Structure formats: C-alpha cells, structure tokens
Structure 1
Amino acid sequence: MLKNAILTEGLKLRGSKIALPIILLPLISVLLGSGNYAVNPHELTNGWYSLWTQVALFYGYFFYPIIIAICCAYIMRLEKNNHNWNAVMTYPVRPRTVILSKLIIIGFISLIVQAFLIILYLTAGLLLGVKGSFPLDILNFCLCGFTASLAVAAIQLYLSMVIKSFALPIGICLGTCVLGLGLCVTGLWMLYPTSLLVKSFSALNQAALSPLEFILFFILSALYLFVFTRLAIRRLTRRDIVTP
C-alpha cells in the first residue's frame, strides 16, 4: 500500500514546475560560491574546503531548506485544491500512509538535490583548478545535511497542511533559516531543524561534527522527524481537515 501511495505522489508531480527551483537554486549557489572563491584567492587558501564554505554559505543556509519548503507546500497544495482531501480520505489508505508517502517523496527529491549539488561543486572545483584530491568529508557534510532536511521536511509538511496559504509556510522557512544561522553561531544549533542543517554543512568552521555532536545530531533529527510526522498524521485523522 505504501509503495502505491509513493508512486501516486510521484505521478502527481509529473509535469509540474517543481523541477525549476530544484535545478536553479543549487546552480545559483554554486555560481555565487565559486565567484566568491575566485575573487578571494588570498583569503580562501584551503582548496576544496574553502570552496565548500562559499557554496554552503548560500546553499545550506538558505537555498536548500527553501527547496524543501517549496516542495512541501506544492505537494500539500495539490490536496487542498477543490477539497481533494475529501477524495484522498475516501481511498482505502491510512492517514499514516498518506503522510509517509509524501515525506518519502520529499526525501527522494532532497537526495536528488544533494547529488546534483555534489556534481556541480565538483565541476566548479575542476574548472577553477582547485588543487588536491576531492575530500570525502564533503560527502559526510551532504549526508548529514540530507538527514537534517528530513526533519525540516516533516515540519514544513505539517505547516503546509495547517496553513491554507502556499507562500506563508515558505516565508516561515526563510525566517527560520535566519534563526537557524543565529542559533548555530551562538552554539545552540540543537534547538531547531534549520540550525541542524546549518551545523551539518560545516561551512562556519570547515570541521566535521565531533563524535558526540554526531550522535546528538542524529538523535535530534530523528526526534524532530518523528514528532512532526506524528502531528501531521494526527491532524489528518481529524475530521475537520477533510471537510469543506
């Protein structure tokens, strides 16, 4: 049943314009980051890591969570149009399956975006003549970023379900991106999923998470994911969300 629900969610996105931000925002991030790297060769002397800090500055702090927010708002908007929730709830599918299928689709999109970013980053580094071998730490940063993105997706799916406006949940995400950056700078990166995302990309200090931070990071990501997924499932089971 879950497999069929996931395939259905994928079909709903076919022919949509959701691919536009998925392609453009990582590309813009790499172009801006590469430009900063190219014009500051004397300050950015740590090769691939320096290039990564410049790319992640735009991508990890703002563009990546915004991509997640846009996808969540769009996938929920499809159900809100013409009271489609009523039709969904007439299907022999549990609310849990509906929410999980949407979350899995967003996770799949997030994974594609991360892979696309790595390709763009590697291409930019080669074109800029960055010396040294490709650091595997970058893959670790991206894996942690993907994990945090699932927690962000759970929150954004819930907000997009509760809020009727398409743009407002995206605006809230943008605000929490600024909040997440501030929390990370002050050392309180564990307080919100967007701050987990900022911490995961390690653009502030070019250092990977310590073993203790790594464990705490994954525990908190799982906790946020579980709590907000449960909230979304609980809301979907309530009658008022499926009535006109």
Structure 2
Amino acid sequence: MFKNAVLAEILKLKGSKIALPVILLPLISVLLGSGNFVANPHELVNGWYSLWTQVALFYGYFFYPIIISICCAYTMRLEKSNHNWNMMMTYPVRQGAVILSKLIIISIISLIVQSFLVILYLTAGLLLGVKGGFPLDILNFSLCGLAASIAVAAVQLYLSMIVKSFALPIGICLGTCVLGLGLCVSGLWMLYPTSLLIKGFGALNQAALSPLEHILFFILCAVYILVFTELAIRRLTKRDTATS
C-alpha cells in the first residue's frame, strides 16, 4: 500500500508546472552568482569556494526553501480541493503512508534540484576558467543542504495541511528564510530548519561544519523531520476521525 501511495503522488505531479521553479530557480542562482563572481575578481579570490558562496548567496538563502515550499503547497492543494481528503480517507491507506509518501516525493525532487545545481555550478566554473580541482566540500555542502531541505519540507507540509491558502505557507517560508538568516548571523543556526539549511549549505562562509557541528546538524534535521511529520499524521488522523 505504501508503494501505491508513493506512485499516486508521482502521478499527481504529472502535467503540473512544478518543473518550472525546479529548473529556473537553480539556473537563476548560478547566473546571478557567476555574475557576482566575475564582477568582483579582486575580492573573490578563493576560486571554486568563492564561486560557491556567490551561488549559495541567492540559492541557499531563499530560492531553495521556496522551491520546497511550492512543492509542499502543491501536493497538499490537490488533497484540499473537491473534498479529496475525505475521499482519501476511504482508501485502505494508513494516514502515515499518505504523509510519508508526500515527504519522500518532495525529498526526491529536492535531490534532483541539488544535483542540477551542482551540475550548473560545475559547468559555470569550467566556463569561467576557475582554477584548481573541484573541492569535495561542495558535495558536503550539498548533502547538508539536502538533509536540511527535508526538515524544511516536513514543516511546510504541516503548514500546507493546516492552512487553506496555497500562497500563505509559501509566504511564511519566505519569512522564515529571513528569520533563518538572522539566526545564522547571530550563531543560533540550530533553532529552525531554514537556518540549518543556510548554515549547512555554506551560504554564509566557505568553512564546512566541524565534526561536532555535523553530528548536531543531522540530529536536529532528524528531530524536525520526526516532530513535524508526526504532527501532520496526527492532524490527518483527527480529520479521519471527524469525518468517519
């Protein structure tokens, strides 16, 4: 049944316009970051790392969380229209499978987005003639960003479930991006998933997380994912009880 729930989520995305932000926002991030890199050759002297900070400046702060929030809002929008939630509750699928299938699909989309960004970043670096070998820290930044994006997705799925509006959860995510940036600057990056994303993605500086910070980072990502996924499942269970 869980496999069928995942396949159902894939079918729902067919014919949608989700691909537009998935393609355009990473592309815009790399173009803007590359433009900054070229325009400031005397300040940005650390090769691949400097190029990454410029790309991550736009992507990690805002574009990446916004992509996730759009995907979450869209998957929930389908269920909230035409009483689809009530129809779904009549199917032999557990509430947990419904929520987890959505989270898995969004995680896969996030992985695709991250892979696409790294390919664009590598291509831009080669075209710009960036010297030196490709730094493995970039893969570390990308992995941390992916983990944090799943935590962001768990929060946004829950918000998209409890808020009727399609746009409001996306607007809330944009606000939390600003909050996350402020938390990172003040050293409180562990207090919200968007600040985890900014910190782990290397958007503020070129230094990777320390071993201890890595442990704390992934523990916090797991906590946010588990807590908000459980909240969403409980919310859906209450809906099932109310409609039965």
* Pairwise same-fold verdict (TM > 0.5): yes
> Deviations for 1:122-173, whole angstroms, at most 9, x for unmatched residues?
0000111100110010000000000000100000000000000000000000
Partner of 2:12: 12
Amino acid at match of 1:159: L
Amino acid at match of 1:105: I
SS of match in other structure, 2:89: helix
Q: In 2, distance between residues paired with 1:241 and 1:103?
A: 23
Amino acid at match of 2:160: S
Q: In 2, distance between residues paired with 1:232 and 1:241?
A: 14
Partner of 1:233: 233
TM-score (norm 2): 0.98
Aligned pairs for 1:30-179 (under 5 A) are 30-179=30-179
SS of match in other structure, 2:206: coil
1:207 matches 2:204: no
1:2 is displaced (CA, Å) by 1.2
Unpaired runs of at least 5, structure 2: none
Q: In 1, distance between residues paired with 2:145 and 2:33?
A: 18
Aligned pairs for 1:210-225 (under 5 A) are 210-225=210-225
RMSD over aligned Cα, in angstroms? 1.0
Q: How many residues align?
A: 243
Q: In 1, distance between residues paired with 2:92 and 2:34?
A: 50
Identity between Structure 1 and Structure 2 (%) = 82
Amino acid at match of 2:40: N
TM-score (norm 1): 0.98
Asked if the contact 2:86/2:240 (under 8 Å) is kept, the reply is no
Change (3 A) 1:238 1:65: same
